Structure 1
Amino acid sequence: MFSHESVLLLQVALALYLGAALVQVFLLGGERPALRRCALILTGIAFAAQTLYLGAAWIQEGYLPVTNLFSTLFFFSWAMGGTFLYFELRYRIGAAGLFVLGLTMLLLVGALRRGPMISPLIPALDTPLFTMHVAFSFMGYAMFAMAFSVAMAYLMPRFLRPPSMPARDLLRRHNEEAILLGFVFFSVCMITGSIWAYVAWGHWFSWNIKGVWSFIVWLFYAGMCHAKFVRRWQGEGYALLSIAGFGIVLFTYLGIGLLLQSNHPLE
């Protein structure tokens, strides 16, 4: 599976995502139900292709294939594709999710540039807790990315807003839902990670840089779940917090993994 066929499958997914994004850009000029369905179908097939690759890799390796930079970039893009489909099917966010589609493609391009190679899983990670920890981590990241995308749409000046953009009140609620779901997913990630660390190494938390910044991410979004009830942080303030939060997420995922030494290196 990790040869020409796997590369071709991921390239097909990338082409389909690109087609969906181009259709979404075309829809900025106005609502066209047939084109919207086309964009949704393209995205759905692309996500299905990624899911097929993920399932085949999981079966072949015997564990969730998220052990190096290629596999984490791929899994992040997969989670992003699923997040976009959830919001599009439920709310028809259209143009508000363009950033998510763009980031999905960017992550997939980064994965393809690395090549579909999956590192062996060390014995300490060979546990269902590892699977849950990693899966819920990236599901949380994907929701935080959606919140970023919706926040950017919310802050767009009125004269630049395309006709297909959802109303600001709807964008605000989409942002809040993405933050809440992301916080729930990331909380599960932190809980399973703590249990896993205790089972593997005998402690619930260690002061390594990855652990500290993961806790900062959790604390930041816990604060955001509270901030939506504070009048001065509602609206534009909440959108700005969503943008800042995703910056912290990117640093925690890529900045630490690539630039600093930690127990979560990306190679």
Structure 2
Amino acid sequence: MPAEVDTGLATLSDQLVLVTVLLYVFAMIGYALHLGFGRSSVRQAAAVREPALVGAGASVSVPVSEAAPAAAPTGDDTAGPRWPARAGFIALVLTWLGWAANAGCLVTRGLAVGRWPWANMYEFVVAICLATVTAYLVLRHKFPQLRFLGAFVAVAAALSLGFAVRYLHVQAGPVQPSLNSYWVAIHVSAAIIASGLFIVGGVAGILYMFRKEGRPSRLPTRAELDRITNRVVVLAFPIWTFAVIAGAMWADKAWGRYWGWDPKEIWAFITWIGYAAYLHARATGGWRGRAAMVVQLVAFGCLLFNLVGVNMFLGGLHSYADIPGSP
């Protein structure tokens, strides 16, 4: 390891990422218990409708002690067994602890090498996971109905970090001169934030495709999933647009041109086109439901290939991922 690297902080960073994986795994289990055994929104809605139907028929009497709990459901599990709600709360606490460990991993690695800690594929994946969990926690606070995404976000973050530790990890060290720039804080940070939001939207979109309307489910309805996905994409798209523009400006400073048809540039633009097509189809074409979601998921696939596939399988000026075993 280079002499200028603080080995103590670098080791602490490696340990924190392992702690993060464990916390996200346990959080995923808690969310899964809450989702699997908590009271479903469909059952709550049925409980609300039942007293009205009974009153209209006037042929069946419902004791007050039975009707009262269902009269004003709040979306919580207070009318069902209490332990799933506790599991969900513990999962949320573990998610925040995992988020803190995830952030600590990046901070200590950055301090260890004296630079922004997302200059190779390992660091980038760790940062993407932090952005995804951050997006989930912030959006959950704004929209409580998003709590159902916890299990899926946690398992995605845990698997991604586990993959990064097993296959992408490189020792902390300096970077090539073109990456030692303030543009890392601008261009790459914007790409990371937008990617985290897009991943949350992608997870909601995948769940939409598996959600069967008219069947009892603990997941939100397709209409709610569609609305959640659209809101996240609307928020992330301008940030991704800024990241693409900032990348072109950095390319001009580093390589003397704004655009050179490098694979990373091409796939960043393809991703932009995909999400632009999704937003355009909804805004002007009136697309809703499955058709719009298919477009969104195609754009999401382009995003994932841009983030991971380009660095692993394609060359070019952006082939600085430092993936172990790569040419």
TM-score greater than 0.5 by the shorter chain:
yes
Q: 1:191 aligns with which of 238, 241, 245?
A: 245
- In 2, the alpha carbon distance for the partners of 1:189 and 1:161 equals 41
Structure 1 or 2, whichever has the larger Rg, is 2
Question: Root-mean-square deviation (CA), in Å?
Answer: 2.0
Query: 1:112 maps to what in 2?
Result: 165
Asked whether the 8 Å contact 1:83–1:142 carries over to 2, the reply is yes
Q: CA deviation at 1:231?
A: 5.1
Q: CA deviation at 1:186?
A: 0.9
Query: 2:96 maps to what in 1?
Result: 44
Cα distance change of structure 1 residues 161 and 147 upon mapping to structure 2, 3 Å threshold: farther
Instruction: Give the gaps of 5 or more residues in structure 2.
Output: 1-8, 39-76, 78-83
Q: TM-score, normalised by structure 1?
A: 0.91
More displaced, 247-256 or 40-49? 247-256
Q: 1:244 aligns with which of 295, 298, 309?
A: 298
SS at match of 2:283: coil
Asked whether the 8 Å contact 1:144–1:242 carries over to 2, the reply is no
| Structural mapping, 1:27-42, within 5 Å | 27-28=34-35, 29-30=37-38, 31=77, 32-42=84-94
Query: 2:195 maps to what in 1?
Result: 141
SS at match of 1:158: coil
Q: CA deviation at 1:71?
A: 1.1
Query: 2:14 maps to what in 1?
Result: 7
Asked whether the 8 Å contact 2:20–2:98 carries over to 1, the reply is yes
Instruction: Give the gaps of 5 or more residues in structure 1.
Output: none
Query: 1:55 maps to what in 2?
Result: 107
Residues 1:103 and 2:166 aligned together: no
| Structural mapping, 1:1-267, within 5 Å | 1-3=9-11, 5-28=12-35, 29-30=37-38, 31=77, 32-92=84-144, 93-113=146-166, 114-115=168-169, 117-155=171-209, 156-158=211-213, 162-163=217-218, 165-230=219-284, 232-265=286-319, 266=321, 267=323
- In 1, the alpha carbon distance for the partners of 2:178 and 2:122 equals 21
Q: CA deviation at 1:76?
A: 1.5
- Percentage of pairs with the same residue: 25
Asked whether the 8 Å contact 2:251–2:259 carries over to 1, the reply is yes
Q: How many residues align?
A: 265
Asked whether the 8 Å contact 2:30–2:87 carries over to 1, the reply is yes
